Chains A and B, each alone.
Chain A
Amino acid sequence: MATTNQTSLYGLMAEFDDPAAVVSATRRAYAAGYRCMDAYSPYPIEELHHALGIHGNRLPLVVLIGGIVGGLGGYLLEYWISAIAYPLDVGGRPLHSWPAFIPVAFETTILLAALSAVVGMIAANGLPMPYHPVFNVPEFERASRDGFFLCIEATDPKFDVHETRRFLESLNPREVADVEP
């Protein structure tokens, strides 16, 4: 029912007063079978993404790869420069003087790992995103202050404007709002 409504809205958003309420609401929405949804809070709440069914992410792997590439890349660059491209014999010391190459290889490891952490986090989060429908809800500006929100998106197979609204209202929110696309 109400297939027309499904295309006209991004989703339905419920606002809650405190973190415990949004966490339990999210758990109940997950238990009710909703999957395409997201919760919004002014600070990180670990239980909230667990309630959404998210357990861990692949960022550590990205950072590990960044670090390995940085370390190996830095070291090989030093080796290639000092032993192959520009060999300088200083007092007969070995051209491949590995102990002296450690500090720079260490710094490049950290540099690339840190860049992967930040760039990876921003990219995986789909940022920068100049426009997002949730900002169409006027109350949503409180999400960066003291508001807690749960948005069930219209793309969810179980989404139905009236049914979902009734469900959200049963969770004892402050308000349920339509999210314009």
Chain B
Amino acid sequence: MFAWARPHPLARSKIAVVAVTASVAFATTTACSSSPDADDGGQPAPPTADAASHDRAGHAVAAEAPSAVELRAQLEQLLGQHAILTVRLTRARLRGDADLAQSADGALSKNTADIGALIEAAYGAQAAESFEQGWFNHVTSLFNYARGVADDDATVTSVARRQLDDYVNELSQYFDEATNQVASAAVVEDELRMHVDHLLEQVDAYAAKDYEGAFQLERETYAHMFPLGKALAAAIVTGEGADLPAEFESPAAELQSQLGMTLGEHAELAVDAMRSGITGLPDFPAAAGALDQNTTELTGMIESVFGAESAGSFQQLWSDHIDAFVAYTQALAGKDEGAQEAAEGRLTGFNSDFAQFLSTATQGRLETAALADAFVMHEEMLLKQINEYAAADYATAHQVSYEAYQHMFALADQAATAIGETVAAGSPKGGAQTGDGGMATAIAGG
């Protein structure tokens, strides 16, 4: 029996209604999940009732519930990663690359388990298992949409689209009723539809060889997951009857979130570009273009904080390091070990120079040596993932890129703190003396 371990005290009965329905829905899945038009044999079995109590060993179960701030950060990070991995899964299916799709699916399973661990910390194991089942199935629907598009099978695509569309409509209405309009059906529907539409549209765009459009949609769906993660974290915390702490959405927390999102996207788009580049995929220019957009956004942030001159220095360094990764990829494809070593040498130079740049810009708040170590780790992970990718060890490639993405958030946290403190140190102190009192009576009276 599905049960919320610690439901919202004011909505206990409503949540229970939803939860029971979810449980029933999953149970029903077992009775209607045969696959008359499934892909070739060998695919994992669809979820079953038994699967809902499967061994969760290996899941990143939180030892204790994270703080509100930690929960926000982790949900944002994981939901953003979910979007990227789903995009990779569907594109692999569009290209008919079963190996890659399988390993992307494995990474998605880990991502789902990691999200499930957060749900478990909040609501218990049964709720987490139900969550993971539901999450798994919605990815399945998206995957099968891509399958239908790839196979030009209008039946499969229309069924997948209709079911996702119906889910959005009916669940929005259902939740509206279940909560006595506490959760507006219109708002829920809008957010759900946006998430699904982004992912479906990027499949369509990619299949139509509109790679630029597909990457633009990838960026949008990734960005959309961050406010969603924040709102979900807020709901979990307040649903427990607690108030949100002030630091939950403090300017510092917002900067950490935004910088993490942007640096995480950098890592993922670099992975996309390197993988597309080394296998000659036609989407390489679009992937590189998306990476350029990310670089431009980071440069704009540096300019606004440290000025135009620093922005110019930053962009030169940053672009050099991206070029070195691309040069390494080119050398790897050509099995040119000398060129690979040369590219690695360029990256080593970047690690030192960029660490010095950031340390200076933040007036020593970031230590050069620690930064250099962090950049070395970034370099090693991106190079390892492309080495493994080139060797067709996709599972390891995905595992490493998974970690490379998460590593950027740790770096972002430290950088955001230092940047914020640097700006604060140079900001005006106190309020502004912008009145001489001539209209004091009118102003005080409102």
Q: Do A and B come from one complex?
A: no
Residues in chain B within 8 A of chain A (CB atoms): none
